[in-house]
Amino acid sequence: MREPDSQLTGRVGRASREEISAFLGEPEVKDSIGQSEVWIYQFQDAGASGRIPAPLQEIINYFDEVIMTFDGGGILQKYTLVLFGHGSKKGRK
């Protein structure tokens, strides 16, 4: 069985902010921490809003949030999948 985050794993260290935005749409939150930029996609209310990017359909069955960190050059460095209901996290580098 394929992991729900398999569509993201290959993009780490390669994908730009622009590529991620084209792939997933705009995140709900954007913030800067030092030279890094953090994007957060939230799915708790995705069903109510009707806005669920197609590539994330599989991920939202398992996780409530995706946190993406980009370096100063705008390249995806890591992401973390967050499940609030059970307090567990699964991250990829």
Look at residue 91 and tell me if it is in a domain. Answer: no
Look at residue 92 and tell me if it is in a domain. Answer: no
User: Rounded distance, CA 66 to CA 83, Å?
Assistant: 9
pLDDT, tens digit, 9 for 90 and up, residues 38-87: 999 887 655 544 556 666 666 666 677 889 999 999 999 999 988 776 54
Q: Using the 8-state DSSP alphabet, how is residue 84 labeled?
A: T
pLDDT at residue number 41: 87
* Parent domain of 58: 6-86
User: Rounded distance, CA 69 to CA 25, Å?
Assistant: 16
Look at residue 93 and tell me if it is in a domain. Answer: no
Name 52's Cβ contacts closer than 8 Å, sequence gap at least 6. 43, 46, 60
pLDDT at residue number 20: 92
How many structural domains comprise the chain?
1
pTM for this predicted structure: 0.73
N residues, the chain:
93
- Would you say the C-alpha torsion 3, 33, 75, 57 has a positive or negative sign? positive
Look at residue 60 and tell me if it is in a domain. Answer: yes
- Domain with residue 23: its CATH number is 3.30.1450
User: Rounded distance, CA 26 to CA 43, Å?
Assistant: 13
